[in-house]
Chains A and B, each alone.
Chain A
Amino acid sequence: MDNDAQITLGDTVRPADSHPTKKVLCIEDERFIGELYIRALSKAGYDVTLEVDGARGLTLAQSDAYDIILLDLMLPNVTGIEILRTLRDPNKTPHLKAKIIITTNLEQREDVRQDIERQADGYIVKAEMTPRELVDFLNNID
């Protein structure tokens, strides 16, 4: 759904109020991509936090304060795959309410990719999805 179409539905209703504001953690080391995602997601009423470092991203993710985690795979310090594994390990992350969406431009071997997909709630090739299409995708993941 186009966000602007939602705004015109009622001038007193902000899109953020149409559903409880969802908190998104975007762990993405390519800052420009991160900025584009913040722009599109904020406009659609999401509350977005951007983190460019893998280690800090993992700490934030483990705080369990987010509804959605957008996780790049190639990250400095701690890779996305390590973050994913830590978040899915009940000994290291006892509780995680967030849906984990992998966002990457990396091409994996099919079986490696399937292994990652099994552990995540979504898998997106960034070049195949514009920020607006990403918003549509996130609106429909529940």
Chain B
Amino acid sequence: MASSSDYLSRTKRQYLTSLILMLLAANVILIASWITLKTYLHLNDLGYSIALLGVALVLSFSLAIILSNHLIAPLRALWQLVINITPAGGLPPPNIDQLKIGRELVADLSAKVLQLTMTVANAPNQPGSELSVNFVANNLPLPLFVLDPVETIVFANVAAGKYIGISTADMIGKNFYMVLDMSFPSENTFERWLKQVKTSSATATMSWERVRLNVLDNHPTLLFDLAAYYNKDNPEHYETMAVLFDHTKQYSQDDQAVSFVALSVHELRTPLTLLRGYIEALEDETKDLGNSDLSQFIEKMNATAQQLSVFVNNILNVARVDNDQLQLSLNEENWRNIVVDAVNAISLRAKVRGITIETNIAPNLPSVGVDHLSIYEVINNLLDNAIKYSGSSKVIKVDAHLSKEGLVETTVQDFGLGISPSIMPNLFTKFYRDHHNRSQIGGTGLGLYLAKAIVNAHGGNIWVRSKLGEGSVFGFSIQPYASLAADNKNSDNKEITRGAHGWIKNHSLYRR
């Protein structure tokens, strides 16, 4: 079988032969014209030269046109072929049989071009390229998951198996959210993103930082960044791809700060439990003695132990706020009950200082969307402050009502020392305390900082009005449950999860 270079030299020979033949023909015509002119026309020398020049000119033009047509024909055929096979098309395939010069060369080149385009078009189905894709995916040193349109894992690479601690065979065919129970630092979770892009995009990419893999307690927690790619029209249903970038070591150092506080809290709580238990037992055993001094001592001990208990919770929660780990579960609650509970819980502390708390709660308040324990601590901290800064005043007023904006507003008012205007802007800052009173009044400057973080996480506001020597009013607003639920109407769950920038569960599957 002849090779392309044979066709090329054959074409070259054809060109050469044609050229020589044409030049010979041109010479013959010129000679013939010369003889004809000499024989039949009787011209002078000038006229004779002009006539011969005219014949030569006509001959040259004709030859040039014929030659160029012949020479360009193979090139035109190739051009027509290339246009024909490009997706835009627009030209019929060339008729190579009509070529007089270079037919074999053009046929050979056409066949090669066609073969090349076929190879490119069928590339993904070729065993060779499949192998290379698998090789890359399998050996990528990052955990990689590929999901189908219903979030079933259709592929997980070796690194994914190692990272999660489940063999890849055990993961494939399972729901992604069942295999990876993830928590995200904001409400923009992987699941929410995927739901949204499925309805609005053909392709999309997204990344998240500080994703946490929730594992059972005897496994180390994994912390990572996550990147995802979505492609709606993938013919193989490889719709979503997720890659994990491990940062467990780096991120868990932040966690350790909280762990240390949590451990300290545990060590503080055990003696506190005992103190409170024995104070109560002592109260039981001595109440029939009728010793009023003893009863008062016990009451004061009890109030002090309660105060310590609030403080211990405050330091834990401040650590959580500072490390983005305070998580709130907003539920529908009766606001009156929460305020009354909080006031009752602190009444002993008020009583031992001779302070009365007057509570005024508007009837028919709408139910609120709050995290019971956290919001209770807000009221507790505001009341605790009011007691501390009451001075010689003996009344604290608690008021709850519906504001003009339709928010549930609660105020705690004391008639004590008041706050000087110069320090008002720093009041809700951590560790900030009124230096005028620092020596007389105990406290850490955590209470208001925490109260603000919790109220803000509820989507509410906290504020203060005060006049030196006349007392202070601290107030905060929270949303009625109905408006909160309207904002979250896509959620299938009655419970709404919020962070103070805290962890949000990826999937309702794992919510209580």
A12 to B505, CA, bound (A): 55
| A86 located at the interface, meaning its Cβ lies under 8 Å from any Cβ of chain B in the complex | no
B503 within 8 Å of A (CB atoms): yes
Bound complex: CA A30 to CA B275 (Å) = 13
Which single member of B269, B278, B281, B512 contacts A126 (CB below 8 Å)? Answer: B269
State whether the Cβ of B276 lies closer than 8 Å to any Cβ in chain A: yes
Nearest residue (CB) in B for A39 is B281
Asked whether B276 lies within 8 Å of A127 as measured between CB atoms, the reply is: yes
Q: Which of A30, A105, A110 is close to B503, meaning CB atoms less than 8 Å apart?
A: A110
Q: Does B189 contact A (CB under 8 A)?
A: no
Residues B280 and A132 in contact, CB atoms below 8 Å apart: yes
Distance in angstroms between the alpha carbons of A39 and B512 in the assembled complex: 34
Contacts A33-B274, A36-B274, A105-B273; is A127 near B312 (CB within 8 Å)?
Answer: yes
Q: How far is the CA of A32 from the CA of B276 in the complex (A)?
A: 12
Pick from B217, B265, B281: contact of A36, CB under 8 Å: B281
**What CA separation (Å) do A40 and B278 show in the bound complex?**
11
Question: How far, in whole Å, are A109 and B263 apart by their CA atoms in the complex?
Answer: 12
Is residue B456 contacting chain A, with contact meaning CB distance below 8 A?
no
Instruction: For the complex, give the distance between the alpha carbons of A114 and B269 in Å.
Output: 20
Q: Is A107 within 8 A of B277, CB to CB? A: no
Please measure, in the bound complex, the distance between the C-alpha atom of A37 and the C-alpha atom of B266, giving whole angstroms.
19
Main secondary structure of the interface of B (DSSP, over half): helix
* Interface status of B197 (Cβ within 8 A of chain A): no
Is B183 at the interface (CB under 8 A from chain A)? yes
A126 / chain B contacts, CB cutoff of 8 Å: 269-270, 273
Contact for B280 among A106, A110, A131, CB less than 8 A? A131
Interface 1/0s, chain A 107-125, versus B by CB < 8 A? Answer: 1011110110110000001
Specify which of B266, B277, B325, B502 is in contact with A105 (CB 8 Å cutoff): B266
Which chain A residues (27-53) contact chain B, with CB distance < 8 Å?
Answer: 30, 32-33, 36, 39-40
> Is the Cβ of B503 less than 8 Å from the Cβ of A107?
no
Q: Which residues on the B side are within 8 Å of A132 (C-beta)?
A: 280, 284
* Residue ID in chain A nearest B302 by CB atoms: A130
Given contacts A107-B265, A110-B327, contact A131 B512 (CB under 8 A): no
From residue B499, how far is it (CB to closest CB) to chain A in Å? 9
B142: CB under 8 A from chain A? Answer: no
In the complex, the answer to whether B325 meets A109 with C-beta atoms within 8 Å is yes
For residue B230, give the distance in angstroms from its CB to the closest CB of chain A: 26
Q: Which residue of A lies closest to B309 (CB)?
A: A127
Chain A hits for B502, CB < 8 A: 110
CA distance A111 to B325 in the complex (A): 10
**CB neighbours of A106 from chain B (8 A):** 262, 266
The reply to whether the CB of A17 lies closer than 8 angstroms to some CB of chain B is: no
Indicate whether A142 reaches chain B with its CB closer than 8 angstroms. no
Residues of A within 8 A of B511 (CB): 114
What distance in Å separates the Cβ of A3 from its nearest Cβ neighbour in chain B?
9
Determine the residue in chain B with the shortest Cβ distance to A114.
B512
Please indicate the chain A residues that have their CB under 8 angstroms from the CB of B273 in the complex.
Answer: 30, 33, 105, 126-127
Interface string of B492-507 (1 = CB under 8 A from A): 0000000000110100
What's the nearest-Cβ distance from chain B to residue A109, in Å?
7
Distance (whole angstroms) from the CB of A31 to the closest CB of chain B: 10
Check if B270 sits within 8 Å of A30, measured CB to CB. yes
Q: Is the CB of B274 within 8 A of A112?
A: no
> Complex: how many Å from CA A117 to CA B281?
29
Smallest CB-CB separation from B279: which chain A residue? A130
| A128 contact set on B, CB distance < 8 A | 309
* CB 8 Å contact bits of B312-326 with A (1 = contact, 0 = none): 100010000000010
19 intermolecular pairs with C-beta atoms under 8 Å apart: A30-B270, A32-B274, A33-B274, A39-B281, A40-B280, A105-B265, A105-B266, A105-B270, A107-B262, A107-B265, A107-B266, A110-B325, A111-B510, A125-B269, A126-B270, A127-B273, A131-B281, A132-B280, A132-B284
Report which B residues bind A (CB closer than 8 A).
Answer: 183, 214, 216-217, 262, 265-266, 268-270, 272-274, 276-278, 280-281, 284, 309, 312, 316, 325, 327, 502-503, 505, 510-512
Q: Nearest 10 CB-CB pairs, A to B?
A: A105-B269, A127-B269, A36-B277, A107-B262, A110-B327, A126-B273, A127-B272, A130-B280, A127-B273, A130-B276
18 additional A-B pairs beyond A110-B502, A110-B503, beta carbons within 8 Å, are A32-B277, A33-B274, A36-B277, A36-B278, A36-B281, A106-B262, A106-B266, A107-B266, A107-B316, A110-B325, A111-B183, A111-B503, A111-B505, A111-B510, A114-B512, A126-B269, A127-B272, A132-B280
